[in-house]
Each structure stands twice: as C-alpha cells, then as structure tokens.
Amino acid sequence: MRRRDLLSSAAAAAAVSASLPTGVFAQAVSGARRSDHLDALWSGFLEEQLRRKPEEATSLGLDKGENAALKSRLNDRSPAGKAADRAATADRLRRLAQVDRKALSGLPAIDYDTVLYQARSVERLLAFDYGADDGFGAAPYVLSQLNGAYRSVPDFLDSEHRIDTAADADAYLARLEAFAVGIEADTDHFRRDTGVGVVPPDFIMDTLLGQLNKGRATPETADVVVALDKKLKAKDLPASYGEHARKLYAERIAPALDRQIAAVKAVRPSAGHEAGVWRLKDGEALYAAGLHSSTTTDITPEEIHRLGLDQGAEMSARMDALLKQQGLTQGSISERVQSLYKDPTQLYANTPEGKAQLLAYLEQKLTAMKAKLPMAFGHIPHFPVEVRPVPPAIDAGSAHAYTNFPAPDGSRPGIIYFNLHDTSEWPRFTLTSTLYHEGLPGHQMQGGVALENTKIPLLRRATFFSGYGEGWALYAERLADELGAYSDNPQGRIGYLRSELYRCGRLVVDTGMHHFKWSREKARAYLTELDGDASASTTREIDRYISTPGQACSYKIGAVQWLRLRERARTTLGPKFDLRAFHDHALELGAMPLDVLGRAVADWTETQKT
C-alpha cells in the first residue's frame, strides 16, 4: 500500500496523476479542478482505499488496467487488515489537518468536510477491538446473520465479479482461495471476541448456524461454484475452471466452513438472550458511535426515542383516516392492516411461478415510475435498473429488501433486491413503497446521479452516508406519492403510510433495545402493534437492528431533514423555487453528512434569489 503526503504544487499533483492507472480509473478521477492540490489528495486517498478494499474496486468497475491485480483479491479480514485500516485512517486525518479549511468554499469545502467527517467516524468505530466492519456503521458481531465472509463473498462473486476473459476466471479462482482465508480469519476473530464476552444473542446464533449449514453445500452445488459455471458458459470459457473451483471448494472452503460451524456451535450454549449492545464491553460508547456514524447527527437516544413516538402518533392518525376511506373501520390500525395481509387478492403464491409474477409486477411499476421522473428531476441517470430476488442461500437472515448501486462504467446495472423467502410477507399493497425506496426515485436515483457527476471526486461518489442515503430513500417514498404513483392504487398508499409508520417505530425499538434495555420480544410486539405486520419479516428486521445498532434510526432522521430543507428553500424562494433544480443540486453533490447537506442547500438557496 502506497501513502501520499499532501502535495500543493501543480507539478506534484501531476506526478500523482501520472502514477495512477491510465484506463477507467484515470478517467474517473479526472474532474473540473485537476490543478487543485485537493484533487491529488482525493485521488491518493482513493488509490490507497482500493488497495486495502479490493472488493470496492470491483464494485466500482476499477479493477482493470494497472489495477487488474485487485480483481484477484478480497478484503483483508485479519487483525493485520484492521490494523492497516486504523493506520490509514490516522494518516488520512493527519493529511487533512494540513489543509487550510478556511481557504475553501463551494464544492471543495463540501468535499473536504465530507471526507473529514467520514474519517473521524471511521476512527471512532475502529477504536473498538471487537466486531466487524460492515461499511455502514457499528457491527458488534464479526459473525451474525448479516456479517461474515461466509455470507458476503458468495453474493459478491455472483453479482459483482465480472468474467469476460480467461484472466477474469483466473482472478475468480484466486478469490476462492482468498475466500477460504477470509472464513478462517472470521473464525479466529469470532473466537477472540467471544473469549472476552462479545457473544451474539442466542437467536442470532441460531439464524447464523442455519445460514452456515445451508451455505455449506457440496462442491457441485455450492453457490460460488454454480455462479462460476454460469459465467463460464455465458462466455464460452473452458469448463476446466469449474473443475478447479470444485477442487478448491472441497479442499479449502468446505473445511474452513466446517471449522467455523464447529466454532459457532461450541459457543452457542453460552449465548444469552439480551438483545442490546448495552451488555457488551463499552456497549454504550459503541451505540453512541453507531448512531453518530449512521445518522450523521449528535442526537441522543432519548431524543430519537421521543421523535419516534411523536411522529408515530401523527402517522397513525393519517393511517386511520385512509383506512376508513377504504372501508376498513373496525378494530385497531394493527388489526385492520393485518386484514390486508390476509386478503387473498393481495397475495402471491410462495412458488417459483408466484415469485415470478411478483417480480413482473415490480418491473411494471418501475417502468411506470420512470415516466413520472421528469416531473421532479432534470438529471435522470442513464444506468439500467433491475429487480432481483435475494439469493435463497442467504434470504433467511437478509433484510427485507436492499439495493446495489451500478458500476460507474456501466458494466453492471443497479440492482434492487427483494427478499422472497416467503411471499406472504409481501402482499401487493406493500410492494411499491419499497420499490420506490430501493429503486426510483430512491436509492438508484440518488446513487446514479452522484456517480454520473465527474465534478465531484470518485472518492466521494463511492461514499455512502446512511442519514443522507436512507433519508433520501424514505423521502422518495413520499415524493412518489406526490408524483401521483398511488392515484390509481389507494391500497398502495396505505402501504406507503404503513412504511413511513414503520420507520417511526424503528426509532423507538432501536433505542429501546440498545439504550433502554428492551427485550427482543418487547421490540417485536411494539412494531407489530404499531403497523400490523405480524409476519416473520418483522422478526428478521428486529434482528437486523440488533446486529447493526443505530443504523435503523438513519431513515426517519434523514427523511425529516430532507423534507425540512426542501420546505425551507420553498418558503425562502417562493415562486422562484424549482423542485427539479432542488433535487438535481442536492443529489449531484453526492452523499454527505446531514449538517453539511444543510449548509449546501442553504448556499444554493441564496444563489437562487437573484
């Protein structure tokens, strides 16, 4: 790994540019300020980051040319890898401190404040000597239903490792070797953490074991082998690569998984049932760091809890009125929503045919939303967007839905994943709000617009802040309603309001478990009574909050800020306010902390007055 000192002269900046790869990477980091010493700093940071995080290089489509060696590697999950991350973060902060922040304004100031905020947040999280690096915030357990190489690498290799040539297939095999090493590193880390009392709750351990056993397949049926065979066939490459992969799986990966399963089984009897991180060493500090990183605010757990209760009461009143308009007048809100969950006209069969029908409905709604986007956006990204099911091997513990951003070079589409483990968890009235959240005008709009803006450094285009991103996606659900997405779908509007209400509940249960010491059962009962979803997905969601403390709070807190900023700009500008211009500006700036977003929107508002 190479590190670069801050270089202030144009000649030194050119020297850094010359040392970078000459293909896609060099084009991506070029921008409007090539003579500015900050460009050299951001380029250096990104180069170092990709050397430490080669999976990110593949996700960004930058594992080519002089970066081709990165395509044969996976992220280092060992103690040495975490130590390297700590050292790199400290070095990044040292170099940032050498910049005269007072001399910056406009976009360079936003770039600087964003990179500095992220480095400080990462430093705060890396200070804990246990847990995983999930890329979003606090993750106290290196192995859980959401964390671990056993889970992330097969999905990564299937969805993101592109194979066009024999060299790409060789790189895939090298990554299978690295996969075995990563599993062993996780097992060692798990043993260290559990040895000092950082043991996942019993129910998390049970789901983890279920997924590990499900993923421990034969060499012929293993996901990583099946995915390779599919890629080889598509490009007419030799089947011998598949044979090599089966050999690697049998000799390296399967034994590593067996040892991991044995390690988890050995610890399972000692697992307790308490849900929150308050019970862990420095658990209160870990939760505070997780909230800070995810929400990009300093709001306290008590304030978050109260916000969830207050906004939940307001949303419940709106839900009650809408349910009555649809003839659902009897019983509590929860009971009336549960009646919709049981309505056979709302359900898809839990069969391959039923799941295909569900996905086709989503594609139809996605196409309809694309036609509405010009009403609210001037800049619509060109990246294609697809809807896919969560891979069955991991759907038992996965989130209800999530998104993968496209590759900047267009080599991979944006992908919206729906967890179809059980289609009864997805009655039709719930589908569209999630589609708009994860897809358009939600995450895929937010990520796509930023990726296309070469005026901001790729270091920032590749950055995700949960408060900004999840806040935007929840705001986008409201925007979809404003664009008329539910004009012919009143039950879909019920689903949208239920989704909003659910995010209010997240504020309550996340702080409830991790700060107020609620049990898992109390959290589940609260959510079920709040929004009427009594399905297994509620339990999976609760378990997700347990494994990623604080992240669930970012949605509502971020959405409140997005709406507040929009209405403040509208009030200030009056008839001069342009919704399309507001959205384009805020998204083209790329992801950033919420307080930085507030300053950026305020500056934009001032420019629109004249």
pLDDT at 135: 58
Measured in whole angstroms, the distance separating CA 125 from the mean position of its chain's CA atoms is 17
pLDDT tens-digit profile of 415-445?
Answer: 999 999 999 999 999 999 999 999 999 999 9
Residue of 119, 150, 142, 129 lying closest to 83 (CA atoms): 129
Length of the chain: 610
pLDDT tens-digit profile of 225-234?
Answer: 999 999 999 9
Inter-residue contact 429 to 492 (CB < 8 Å):
yes
Inter-residue contact 294 to 467 (CB < 8 Å):
yes
pLDDT at 165: 97
pLDDT at 207: 97
Inter-residue contact 277 to 549 (CB < 8 Å):
yes
* 314 Ramachandran zone, left/alpha/beta (phi>0; psi -120 to 50): alpha
Residue reference for tokens 């999905």? 155
- Statement: residue 21 has pLDDT above 60: no
Q: Taking the chain, what is the end-to-end CA distance rounded to the nearest angstrom?
A: 49
pLDDT at 87: 97
Segment 207-222 shows an average pLDDT of 96
Segment 170-193 shows an average pLDDT of 98
Inter-residue contact 498 to 531 (CB < 8 Å):
yes
Residue of 152, 150, 125 lying closest to 139 (CA atoms): 125
Segment 302-306 shows an average pLDDT of 98
Inter-residue contact 87 to 107 (CB < 8 Å):
no
Q: Could you tell me the CA-to-CA distances from 132 to 152, 247, 293, 340 in Å, in that order? A: 12, 29, 15, 39
- Statement: residue 10 has pLDDT above 70: no
Q: Is the dihedral of CA 166, 167, 172, 175 positive or negative?
A: positive
Adjacent-strand bridge partners of 414: 385
* Ordered DSSP codes for 270-311: G-----SGGGSTTHHHHHHHHHHHHHSS---HHHHHHHHHHH
pLDDT at 408: 77
Q: What is the pTM of this model?
A: 0.89
429, two tokens: 């009235």
pLDDT tens-digit profile of 236-263?
Answer: 999 999 999 999 999 999 999 999 999 9
- Statement: residue 124 has pLDDT above 80: yes
Domain ranges of the chain: 10-126, 149-273, 287-557
- Statement: residue 301 has pLDDT above 50: yes
pLDDT tens-digit profile of 361-387?
Answer: 999 999 999 999 999 999 999 999 999
pLDDT at 119: 96
pLDDT at 2: 25
pLDDT at 136: 60
Q: What is the DSSP letter of 148?
A: S
- Statement: residue 354 has pLDDT above 60: yes
Query: How far is Cα 558 from Cα 466, in angstroms, rounded to an integer?
Result: 8
Inter-residue contact 578 to 455 (CB < 8 Å):
no
pLDDT at 134: 61
Segment 44-72 shows an average pLDDT of 94
* 416 Ramachandran zone, left/alpha/beta (phi>0; psi -120 to 50): beta
Query: How far is Cα 421 from Cα 186, in angstroms, rounded to an integer?
Result: 26
Going by pLDDT thresholds of 50, 70 and 90, the confidence category of residue 602 is very high
Query: How far is Cα 355 from Cα 350, in angstroms, rounded to an integer?
Result: 7
Query: How far is Cα 151 from Cα 213, in angstroms, rounded to an integer?
Result: 11
* Ordered DSSP codes for 12-34: HHHHHHHHS-SSHHHHHH--TTT
Residue of 181, 199, 203, 182 lying closest to 190 (CA atoms): 199
- Statement: residue 532 has pLDDT above 90: no
Average per-residue pLDDT in the chain?
Answer: 91
421, two tokens: 């483990």
Inter-residue contact 123 to 89 (CB < 8 Å):
yes
Segment 489-505 shows an average pLDDT of 94
Query: How far is Cα 497 from Cα 481, in angstroms, rounded to an integer?
Result: 10
Write down the H helix ranges in 8-104: 10-19, 24-29, 37-52, 54-59, 79-97
Lowest mean pLDDT among 22-26, 79-83, 170-174, 424-428: 22-26
pLDDT at 454: 87
Q: What is the DSSP letter of 251?
A: I
- Statement: residue 142 has pLDDT above 60: yes
Phi, psi (degrees; rounded to nearest 5) at 188 = -60, -45
- Statement: residue 19 has pLDDT above 70: no
Strands in 401-404's sheet, in edge-to-edge order, are 385-389, 414-418, 401-404
Inter-residue contact 337 to 343 (CB < 8 Å):
no
Peptide bond into 441 cis (omega under 30): yes
Query: How far is Cα 200 from Cα 144, in angstroms, rounded to an integer?
Result: 7
H/E stretch holding 541 reads helix 536-547
**Pairing status of strand 401-404 against strand 414-418:** antiparallel
The residues, any chain, with a CB within 8 Å of residue 328's CB and separated by 6 or more, are 336, 339, 340
Higher-confidence position of 512 and 412: 512
The residues, any chain, with a CB within 8 Å of residue 250's CB and separated by 6 or more, are 219
